[in-house]
Structure 1
Amino acid sequence: MMETIESKEQLLEQFSEWISYVKKLEGYGEDVWNEEIAEGKWSLRELVSHMMLWDKYFFETAIEKIYKEETLTLQHQDFNEFNDKAMEYGKKTSIRQLIDQTIDYREQIIQHIRKLPEESYLASYGAEEPFRLPQYLKDFIWHDQGHMSQLDHFIQRHSH
């Protein structure tokens, strides 16, 4: 059986689902945003901050650099440390700002990747653990979907 290779457009389509998802969360108040999405898990606010800051990080260190034909500044991150910082950021940032930044970074990533010529999109960047855009999109779509299914359960508890 042949593995279907998703086109750039299909991947970007899936990658943009997080934007409409976050827009649906806009209607909830502070109390819901500050609640843990599941016992011992992050609050909604921290989770959205976590997703947004990974987008910001990859946009600034990889996607924008590829687009401008500059050297990538992507470095291996200590996930726990990165996520702790994201939690702190989420706690002190307004819901409005978190939503705006989430949509902004995700849209920037999508627009920049969309404009890339095919050879730039398919190229490998960096020698050690090369960065490839199709793989990046697949990894983060998987990451998005994991968090969105967690959030589905959370939202069901809050819908009337």
Structure 2
Amino acid sequence: MPKNNDILNFQAFIPWVSTLKQLDTEVWTKPMSEGKWSISEMVSHIMNWDNHILTHILPFVRLGKEISFPNIDTYNRKAAVYAKSGITQSALIEEVIRTREKLVAQLVEMPDVLYNAQLNYSLAFLIEEFVVHDNVHKEQIMQFINKCNLE
């Protein structure tokens, strides 16, 4: 898939996450099922990975270095803790939007040769994978919201 399509798909998360501002706080913070994350934790999780791309992956790609990832479980727990830290629903959503906008802007500016560079992973591959990741979580959130609306 061409770079512009990847970025447009990645950017499409922004208007969708904005719609979550309308959610009742109880739905926003309620675990989606026993022992699972709430919508707020899942949204924080997505933002946390956007931050990792911004602060670690893009600088490594610019230097031609292999891309690295933190311990996934630890990193995901950090996002859940942040969602429960007292940050308001609207503040978290605005932070998610600003983070994604910053990431999209940097991806747009990334030269194609770096975007497609074959390190251990290419940025092109990772962005496609993160679009899929976003969509999986969006679907989980939408199913939960629909379930809450039926109750």
TM-score normalised over the length of structure 1:
0.83
Which residue in 2 is equivalent to 1:151? 141
Which residue in 2 is equivalent to 1:13? 8
Aligned-partner Cα distance in 2 for 1:73–1:106: 23
Counterpart check, 1:75 vs 2:68: yes
Percent pairwise identity: 27
* Structure holding more helix per residue: 2
Residues 1:116 and 1:76: Cα distance change in structure 2 (over 3 Å): closer
Aligned-partner Cα distance in 1 for 2:66–2:111: 21
Q: Which residues in structure 2 correspond to 1:74-153 (within 5 Å)?
A: 75-92=68-85, 93-125=87-119, 130-153=120-143
Aligned-partner Cα distance in 2 for 1:41–1:148: 15
Q: How many residues align?
A: 149
Deviation at 1:60, TM superposition (A): 0.9
Q: Is 2:43–2:96's contact at 8 Å kept on the other side of the alignment?
A: yes
Give the one of 21, 24, 40 matched to 2:35.
Answer: 40
Aligned-partner Cα distance in 1 for 2:92–2:40: 8
Q: Is 1:36–1:44's contact at 8 Å kept on the other side of the alignment?
A: yes
TM-score normalised over the length of structure 2:
0.88
- Aligned partner of 1:115: which letter? E
Deviation at 1:38, TM superposition (A): 2.9
CA distances 1:106-143 after superposition (whole Å, capped 9, x unpaired): 11111111112221211134xxxx23111111110111
Aligned-partner Cα distance in 2 for 1:147–1:61: 23
CA distances 1:60-101 after superposition (whole Å, capped 9, x unpaired): 1122x268x447695331111111111111001221221111
Gaps of 5+ in 1: 1-5
How well do the aligned residues superpose, as a CA RMSD in angstroms?
2.1
Residues 114-123 or 48-57, more deviating: 114-123
Aligned-partner Cα distance in 1 for 2:103–2:146: 30
Q: Is 1:48–1:102's contact at 8 Å kept on the other side of the alignment?
A: yes
SS of aligned partner of 1:114? helix
Gaps of 5+ in 2: none
Residues 1:72 and 1:35: Cα distance change in structure 2 (over 3 Å): farther
Aligned-partner Cα distance in 1 for 2:24–2:146: 15
Q: Is 2:32–2:39's contact at 8 Å kept on the other side of the alignment?
A: yes
Deviation at 1:29, TM superposition (A): 2.8
